[in-house]
Structure 1
Amino acid sequence: MIDKQSPLPIYYQIEEDIKQRIADDDYRSGDMIPSERELSETYDVSRMTVRQAVTNMVNEGVLFREKGRGTFVADQKIEQPLQGMTSFTEDMRSRGMEASSRLLQFERVAAPFDVLRKLQLHEEAEVYKIERIRYADQRPMAIETTFIPAAMFPGLDERVVQGSLYDYIEKSKQKRIGKASQMIEATIADEQQSSLLEVPAASAILHIERNSSLTDGTPFEVVKSSYRADRYKFISDIYRA
């Protein structure tokens, strides 16, 4: 509950209490929270104070309003640390979520120039182009396009790419994944992305490009992904030099 003697603003304490209730599953995704009148009685504060707390949480994406219906708990964003290198499947598994994919494209193609350069391939080299929708608990999270050298993984097939490529590379091919560089930028979903990710037209999305190499320094992967910004957020610990 709230402490009216605390130096912390009352609206902030209300926000923290509701967020804790969400974390404790008292309020679950899609649940309607009590009305402003009910919350003002519960916390024994003015409706204006409650409205400020609720509006702040709507702006944060913790809650959402539906006109004429009420205020509801939004799907909570998945936190992805920027430290450490994991596959999508490993990442979802660690959160107790079921990862799955829908394959949109799998073919062997001439490497685009930027991919050729990043994978350090010769001009005639071919790559596997793998385009997938990545799901967490059956809900679309990202559109992912992966390029890997065809000569490095000659046995790759559609069955393999339905699962975790990293598992295949490390367990089946006995290659050790070393490190990656990653670029993240905000952009707007086009018509196709909106449809595949099941978000409104012109929604904000996170465009992420990852260039990965094995422990011996050999580049093996370029991944270009479009993540739902309403379901994903990236966190990082930083230190003063």
Structure 2
Amino acid sequence: MRLAINKNLPIPIYYQIEEGIKALIEQRELKPGDLIPSERELCEAYGISRMTVRQAVNNLVNDGYLVRQQGRGTFVSKGKMEQRLKGVTSFSEDMRARGMEPGTKLLSFERIQGSKSICEKFSVPEGTMIFEVKRVRLADGIPMAYEISYLPATLLPGFTLEVAEGSIYQFVENVLMLEIGNAHQVLEASLARGVECEILGLESGAPVLLIQRQTYLADGVPLEVVRSVYPGDRYKFVIDMQRTVS
């Protein structure tokens, strides 16, 4: 990888590095999945400080051009997965609609006594038995999200570990013959920490999208509470809006 850097120009060096790497990506000299040189290698190659290189690389990661993989290095991004916030769909349905193969890595499957905060969301007494399911959601084998789902045990007879490894919504609709109605979803920006970094291959403090969804059956009965963490460099949500005048 060769960058045209001129220290005599009034343009900041970190910006020259950013624009140079962007140009190589856009010209397809750097392709999705390519490993770029390490910060140390770039410092030595161009005689610049590590802080300058890090600022450029951080900006490119935040903008979605590059992605860091813990313990492996920094790679050219394969592009962000786009999801339109329209209708209640499962992760598996979203991936298949994009021609990708959805997958699930089940981390844990437990029946627990629900905490006060969780049980309040299901309008049941504290201590009611709740399924807690922790999963990594995959698209063509790539980790796209870390999910923690809570579902009331009394509502889901026959819900097993094997079911949790697939699409829960398909089980609810096709096996239990329950109709899923609507969901309330909240999105916010956050930073990766702890187990999220390990599971999604992110550095501590990497930008992520935190999504909290509560799904209801058509009759209004709460079905699921789920907390999902999506890497900010792999996923984006698109909202179609129509102007309304009050």
TM range (shorter): 0.7 to 0.9
Aligned counterparts, 1:146-225, within 5 A: 146-225=149-228
- Aligned equivalents of 1:231, 1:150: Cα separation in 2: 33
Q: Taking structure 1 as reference, are residues 85 and 32 closer, same or farther at Cα in structure 2, changes over 3 Å only?
A: same
Give the AA of the match of 1:128: F
Q: Which residue of 2 aligns with 1:111?
A: 114
Aligned counterpart in structure 2 of residue 90 of structure 1, from 90, 93, 97: 93
* Distance apart, 1:30 and its partner CA: 2.5
SS at match of 2:156: coil
Q: 2:137 aligns with which of 97, 113, 134?
A: 134
Counterpart secondary structure, 1:199: coil
Runs of 5+ unmatched residues, structure 2: 1-21, 37-58, 69-73
Relative to structure 1, is the Cα distance of residues 231 and 58 closer, same or farther in structure 2, using a 3 angstrom cutoff? closer
| CA drift at 1:202 | 1.5
Residues of 2 paired with 1:170 and 1:144: CA distance? 20
Please name the residue that 1:52 is paired with: none
CA distance in 2, matches of 1:124, 1:172: 27
Aligned counterpart in structure 1 of residue 80 of structure 2, from 72, 77, 81 = 77
Q: Matched residues, percent identical? A: 41
The answer to whether the 8 Å contact 2:95/2:101 transfers is yes
**Deviation of residue 237 (structure 1)?**
1.0
Q: Once the 2 structures are TM-superposed, how far is the Cα of residue 146 of structure 1 from its aligned partner?
A: 0.5
Counterparts in 2 of 1:151 and 1:32: CA distance versus 1, 3 Å: closer
The letter for the 1-side match of 2:161 is E
TM-score by length of 2: 0.72
Cα distance, 1:32–1:205 mapped onto 2, change above 3 Å: closer
Return the alpha-carbon distance in structure 1 between the equivalents of residues 61 and 128 of structure 2: 50
- The answer to whether the 8 A contact 2:62-2:207 is kept is no
Normalised TM-score (structure 1): 0.73
Q: Secondary structure at the match of 2:95?
A: helix
Instruction: Tell which deviates more after alignment, 162-171 or 182-191.
Output: 182-191
**1:63 offset after TM fit, Å?**
5.4
Counterpart-to-counterpart distance in 2, 1:60 and 1:123: 43
Task: Mark the CA change 1:163 to 1:190 in structure 2 (over 3 Å): closer, same or farther.
Answer: same
What is the alpha-carbon distance in structure 2 between the residues aligned to residue 125 and residue 231 of structure 1? Answer: 36
**Partner amino acid for 2:169?**
Y
Aligned to 2:102: 99
| DSSP 3-state at the match of 2:117 | helix
- 1:67-110 alpha-carbon deviations (Å, 9 max, x no partner): xxxx9742200011111111111111111111111111111111
2:136 aligned counterpart, secondary structure: strand
Q: Aligned AA for 2:144?
A: M
The answer for unaligned runs of 5 or more in structure 1 is 1-14, 34-55, 66-70
2:75 & 2:108 partners in 1: Cα distance?
Answer: 37
Alpha-carbon distance in structure 1 between the residues aligned to 2:75 and 2:145: 24
CA pair 57-206 structure 1, distance change in 2 beyond 3 A: closer
Distance 2:31 2:209 in 1: 25
